[in-house]
Amino acid sequence: MTPLRCAFLFGPISTGSRPLDFQTMETNKRGMTGTDNSFCGYAAAMAKRGHEVHVYAEGVEQQTWRVSDDVTVPVYPYAAREGITSYIDAVCSWNDVAGLADAPRTAVRLLDMQVNDFSYLSHSGLLENVDQFVAPSHAELRRRGPVGRLAERLQPGRIRSRREGAWALHLRELP
C-alpha cells in the first residue's frame, strides 16, 4: 500500500475560542469536544497506519504532536494551509468548507461535518470545493439542506487518492 499524504484542517468554526493543545490534550482541564475527538482521532489513526499527516489548526504555533512513542505529526498554524501544494493527496477539513477553497485540485477534498447547524452552508458557493462529505451518520448528512442533496457523493468505506495506488480506509463505516 502506498501511504497517503494528508492535510488535516481544524479551523475557526471548529476551534471557536478553545484552540487545541497538542502537548497536553490527554491531561488538560480544557477537555475535548466531540469535534476535537473526531479530528484528533482521525489524524492520529492515519499517522499510526503509516500515512503522512500534516495538521493545520487555528490558534496554535508550529509544533510537533507526539501521537505515540514512535509516531509524530507536524502541526502548523491554520493560516499556513494556504501553502498546501499538489504534493498532498487528501485535504480533510472539519466543519469548515472555506478551508477547502484553496486546496489543490489534485487532492481529494473531504469535509467532515460534526456540527449540528449546517445553515452557514446554505448560500455558500464553496460546496463545489468538496469531493467527499462525512458526518456522524448517513441519515444526518442526508437531511442537512444543501449538503444533503450532495450526500450522494459519499462512498462509504474508502477514501481514494487521485495519486495512483494510494488509498486509505475510512475509520468509521457509514450505513
Grid cell, residue 35, equals 469535534
3-state secondary structure 25-83: CCCCCCCCCHHHHHHHHHHHHHHHCCCEEEEEECCCCCEEEEEECCEEEEEEEHHHHHH
In a domain, 142, yes or no: yes
pTM of the model: 0.80
pLDDT attached to residue 113: 79
Section 9-34 average pLDDT: 88
pLDDT attached to residue 111: 85
pLDDT attached to residue 96: 86
Contact 62, 77 (CB under 8 A): yes
In a domain, 123, yes or no: yes
DSSP at 166: B
In a domain, 174, yes or no: no
Domains of the chain: total: 1
In a domain, 107, yes or no: yes
Distances (CA, A) of 39 to 1, 22, 86, 106: 23, 12, 22, 23
pLDDT attached to residue 78: 96
Please give the residue that has the higher pLDDT: either 33 or 67: 67
In a domain, 98, yes or no: yes
Section 35-47 average pLDDT: 91
In a domain, 91, yes or no: yes
133-175 pLDDT, tens digit per residue, is 776 655 555 555 544 444 444 444 444 444 444 433 343 433 3
Question: What is the number of alpha carbons within 13 Å of residue 128 lying toward its C-beta?
Answer: 3
In a domain, 85, yes or no: yes
Length in residues, the chain:
175
In a domain, 175, yes or no: no
Section 69-82 average pLDDT: 96
Domain that holds residue 55: 5-169
Q: What is the CATH number of the domain that holds 102?
A: 3.40.50
For residue 91, name the pLDDT band (cuts at 50, 70, 90). Answer: very high
pLDDT attached to residue 73: 98
The chain-wide mean pLDDT, for the chain, equals 78
Please give the residue that has the higher pLDDT: either 56 or 95: 56
